[in-house]
């Protein structure tokens, strides 16, 4: 039972990170109808930024800030430099171009830092705290959950209470009408990419030191997990992404804890296949058909 509670609570903590990474996918999907296959590699690049800044300055928090700002800059650059030029063609083209971005980023990281694993420091202990004789969350898990909660509240406020958020939603859902009403649609799209990449950068900095290990290909599995979360939750639904993230996090934690960590990618694959066959529009989504 203790083991179960520990797995459940640590699963919720890692699920929160998956939820944030999936939220970054949902942001771009809602803004541009693109699944950003480069998001994993972009997040790996910004985690190297955090690694380099933390190594140079000795401060974890400066590294974290640099990664988030670097993410925004990278999102801006990828949208303006690459994705913009294939927009409006077949959806396959944008996926393939994003894969090109993945390859370029992974190659540049490999050349700059090498393909071996780099150790990353974390600011809080990862030893679980004991509550009433049961090991539960570690201080680091609590920090992750707090960061995710702040982020989700901030995004909720941004999209529902501010005029920028309203314009972004308008530009995504009715670009023609928004343009007529004076919304700078193209600028909103770029802003969406920058925000999404910053969110992805934060998620990667939170999760890479604990379980993936810093490596140019570290985020390949993270992207697959986040994609699964987005499919389970429904690509159109931020709330679905949050709930789906927690569900996938707990599933992975249970599979790892009871069956072994090598089975985790297989469990995610099985979940993805089952959801796609049984309920292709996502468990938390109201939309009918899943067609790009």
Partner 1 sequence: MSAHVPVHVHGSWRRPGPATRRLGLTVAGLALAIGATFVLEPYRAYQVAIVAAYLCATAGLTLLVGRGGQLSLGHAALMAAGAYGFGLSSNALSAAGASGAVRLVVPLAAGVLAAAALGALLGAAGARLRGPYLAGLTLAVVVAVPAITSTFSRTLGGDRGLWIEIERRPDALRPWVGAEQWQAWVAITAAALVLLVLGNLASGSAGRQIAAVRDDEAAARLAGIDVTRVKVVSFTLSAAAAGLGGAVLAYVTQIANPGAYSLVFSLFLVVAVVIGGLGSLAGAFWGALLLVALPEATTSIAETLPVSPTLAQRLEGNLALLVFGLLLIVLMIVAPRGIHGALARARGALRRRWSARGPAPAPAPVPEGAAARAPTTG
Q: Is 134 helix (H, G, I), strand (E, B) or coil?
A: strand
Q: Which is nearer to partner 1, 86 or 174 (CB)?
A: 86
Looking at 102, 183, 198, 212, which residue binds partner 1 (CB under 8 A)?
Answer: 102
Q: What are the structure tokens assigned to 175, written together?
A: 């670009």
- Among the candidate windows 59-67, 96-104, 174-182, 184-192, which touches partner 1 by CB under 8 A? 96-104
Say if strands 130-131 and 134-135 run parallel, antiparallel, or are unpaired: antiparallel
Specify whether the CB–CB gap between 236 and 277 falls below 8 A.
no
CA 80 to chain centre: 21
Looking at 92, 149, 154, 286, which residue binds partner 1 (CB under 8 A)?
Answer: 92
> Cβ of residue 36: shortest distance to partner 1, in angstroms?
9
Looking at 97, 120, 151, 246, which residue binds partner 1 (CB under 8 A)?
Answer: 97
Specify whether the CB–CB gap between 133 and 9 falls below 8 A.
no
Task: Write the DSSP assignment of 83-152 as a string of letters.
Answer: GGGGTTS-HHHHHHHHHHHHHHHHHHHHHHH-SS-B----SS--SPPEETTEE---HHHHHHHHHHHHHH
- Among the candidate windows 89-97, 131-139, 161-169, 242-250, which touches partner 1 by CB under 8 A? 89-97
Q: Between residue 105 and residue 144, which ones bind partner 1 under the rule CB under 8 A?
A: 105-108, 110-111, 114-115
Cα separation, 18 vs 202, whole angstroms: 11
Judged by CB under 8 A, does residue 156 bind partner 1? no
Residues that bind partner 1 (CB under 8 A): 34-35, 37, 82, 85-86, 89-93, 95-97, 99-108, 110-111, 114-115, 217, 220-221, 223-224, 227-228, 231, 260, 262-266, 268-269, 272-273, 276-277, 280, 290-292
């Amino acid at each position: 039972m203790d083991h179960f509670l520990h797995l459940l609570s640590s699963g919720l903590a890692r699920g929160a990170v998956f939820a944030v990474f999936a939220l970054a996918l949902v942001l771009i999907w809602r803004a541009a109808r693109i699944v950003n296959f480069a998001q994993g590699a972009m997040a790996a690049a910004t985690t190297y930024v955090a690694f380099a800044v933390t190594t140079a300055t000795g401060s974890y928090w400066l590294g974290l800030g640099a990664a988030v700002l670097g993410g925004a800059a990278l999102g801006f650059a990828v949208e303006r430099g690459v994705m913009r030029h294939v927009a409006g063609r077949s959806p396959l083209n944008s996926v393939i171009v994003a894969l090109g971005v993945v390859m370029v980023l992974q190659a540049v990281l490999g050349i700059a830092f090498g393909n071996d694993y780099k150790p990353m420091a974390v600011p809080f202990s990862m030893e679980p705290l004991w509550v009433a004789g049961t090991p539960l969350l570690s201080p680091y898990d609590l920090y992750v959950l707090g960061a995710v909660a702040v982020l989700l509240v901030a995004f909720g406020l941004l999209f529902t209470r501010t005029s920028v958020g309203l314009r972004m939603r308008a530009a995504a859902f009715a670009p023609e009408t928004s343009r007529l009403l004076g919304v700078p649609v193209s600028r909103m799209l770029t802003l969406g990419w920058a925000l999404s990449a910053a969110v992805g950068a934060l998620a990667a900095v939170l999760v890479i030191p604990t379980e993936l290990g810093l490596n140019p290909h570290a985020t390949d599995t993270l992207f697959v997990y986040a994609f699964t979360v987005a499919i389970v939750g429904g690509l159109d639904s931020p709330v679905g992404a949050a709930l789906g993230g927690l569900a996938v996090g707990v599933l992975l934690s249970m599979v790892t804890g009871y069956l072994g960590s090598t089975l985790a990618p297989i469990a995610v694959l099985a979940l993805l296949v089952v959801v796609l066959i049984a309920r292709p529009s996502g468990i938390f989504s109201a939309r009918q058909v899943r067609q790009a």
